Amino acid sequence: MNSSVSRPVPRILFTSLSGKVSLFEAVLAQARRFHPGAEVVGGDSNSACHGRANIEEFVETPLLAGTSHEEFAAFCREGGFTHIIPTRDGELSYFAEARATLLAAGTHAMISPPETIAACLDKLLFAEKAGQLGFPAIPAFENLDQLDAPRVTVKERRGAGSRGVHLDLSPEEATEKARELSEPIFQPHLRGRELSADLYVDQAGRSRGVVLRWRDLVVDGESKVTTTLRKLEWEEGLGELAAGIGLRGHGLAQAIVDEEYRLNVIEVNARLGGATPLSLSCGLGSIEWFLQEAAGLDLGEPGPFDYPSGKRLARDDEGRDTLTEI
């Protein structure tokens, strides 16, 4: 008898569906490795969201603003949701703070503690914490006169994605752009190649796997073409950084590899990413591990994590993914 069949059948709420159909399908595929009867329901507060027509089951979710934790827990109870996977930065703080209430109602959320979410969403605080832990994060400053660099990046301190990010500016240009932002921070502009890393930290604070991937083509902050690579030093370092800031569950690190082939960390997002399906296809078991931990199963000590280099995801304009080996 398949041992997975004896496990409780998960019914997962995948929040902020929008157009994330590829990610939704990857989550569903891995959930069904945990249990073949697993269900994943796409949720969004916009009932006309783009992805709704492309999935089997959709639910309109309450707007989080003005919805108490108890009310959302009741919504999950009524919908039979045993698990929640948040996918948008703007909802992470809500679910981190609601975690205990949801759990008491029988719903497990893949979410990090509130203080970790706060550090991940605050680029200035993240740079400080990473520096304190001894990791090579790109420094960030509230005032331009604190920065000694010929070229500057200016961005919102708590911005998400590529919005409000201005790159490769002179100090004079950075001063002008900063006036357009509500809470600007300044960083040295680094030339190099963009890199992402999907990873998972278990509830005991142990990194269980890291998949590095080049961001070969980026459009509006999302990877349209991304290719895996191997470098053990970076894999171990990013896993340790995520664990060090208190991340639990899936995380997505962003970095620049400079012209001297050094890793410079930009941020760690405490959620799945748009191109995470590539890493899940390489064996990163984030969804399965989350479901196992929620079921009280012991993951054991992490062993060596292996994955292929040169596996590529390309996403077309319709959001369809093609996986190839190069």
pLDDT tens digit string along 268-292? 999 999 999 999 999 999 999 999 9
What pLDDT was estimated at residue 65?
A: 96
pLDDT tens digit string along 156-199? 999 776 677 999 999 999 999 999 999 999 999 999 999 999 99
Q: Are residues 230 and 296 in the same domain?
A: yes
Q: Quick check: is 38 in a domain?
A: yes
Q: Are residues 144 and 254 in the same domain?
A: no
pLDDT at residue 46 is higher than 60: yes
Q: Which one-letter DSSP state was computed for residue 144?
A: G
Q: Are residues 104 and 149 in the same domain?
A: no
Specify the CATH number for the domain of residue 220.
Answer: 3.30.470.20
Q: Phi and psi for 120 in degrees, rounded to 5?
A: -70, -30
Query: SS3 for 319?
Result: coil
Q: Report the run of H or E that residue 29 belongs to, with start and end.
A: helix 21-34
| Alpha carbon distance 165, 60 (integer Å) | 32
What pLDDT was estimated at residue 1?
A: 39
Query: SS3 for 27?
Result: helix
Q: Report the run of H or E that residue 34 belongs to, with start and end.
A: helix 21-34
Q: Are residues 263 and 223 in the same domain?
A: yes
pLDDT at residue 4 is higher than 70: no
pLDDT tens digit string along 104-139? 999 999 999 999 999 999 999 999 999 999 998 999
pLDDT tens digit string along 209-235? 999 999 999 988 789 999 999 999 999
What pLDDT was estimated at residue 204?
A: 97
pLDDT tens digit string along 47-99? 999 999 999 999 999 999 999 999 999 999 999 999 999 999 999 999 999 99
Q: Quick check: is 128 in a domain?
A: no
What pLDDT was estimated at residue 162?
A: 64
Q: Are residues 222 and 259 in the same domain?
A: yes
Q: Are residues 280 and 201 in the same domain?
A: yes
Which residues have a Cβ under 8 Å from the Cβ of 266 and sit 6 or more positions away?
137, 138, 254, 255, 256
Q: Quick check: is 130 in a domain?
A: no
Q: Are residues 31 and 65 in the same domain?
A: yes
Q: Quick check: is 127 in a domain?
A: no
Cα four-point dihedral sign 219, 221, 223, 225:
positive
Q: Are residues 279 and 173 in the same domain?
A: no
What pLDDT was estimated at residue 249?
A: 98
What pLDDT was estimated at residue 5?
A: 57
What pLDDT was estimated at residue 194?
A: 97
Going from the C-alpha of 243 to that of each of 57, 139, 236, 240, 270, the distances in angstroms are 34, 20, 11, 5, 11
Q: Quick check: is 133 in a domain?
A: no
Q: Quick check: is 131 in a domain?
A: no
Specify the CATH number for the domain of residue 88.
Answer: 3.40.50.20
Enclosing domain of residue 143 = 139-188
Q: Quick check: is 217 in a domain?
A: yes
H helix and E strand count, the chain: 9, 15
Name 315's bridge partners.
321
pLDDT tens digit string along 29-45? 999 999 999 999 999 99
Task: Answer yes or no: are the C-beta atoms of 237 and 125 closer than 8 Å.
Answer: no
Q: Are residues 7 and 63 in the same domain?
A: yes
Q: Phi and psi for 54 in degrees, rounded to 5?
A: -110, 10
What pLDDT was estimated at residue 132?
A: 93
Going from the C-alpha of 46 to that of each of 43, 50, 64, the distances in angstroms are 9, 9, 12
Q: Quick check: is 73 in a domain?
A: yes
Q: Are residues 182 and 80 in the same domain?
A: no
Q: Are residues 203 and 315 in the same domain?
A: yes
Mean pLDDT of the chain: 95
Domain count for the chain: 3
Residue after which a domain boundary falls, among 188, 206, 226 = 188
Q: Are residues 240 and 290 in the same domain?
A: yes
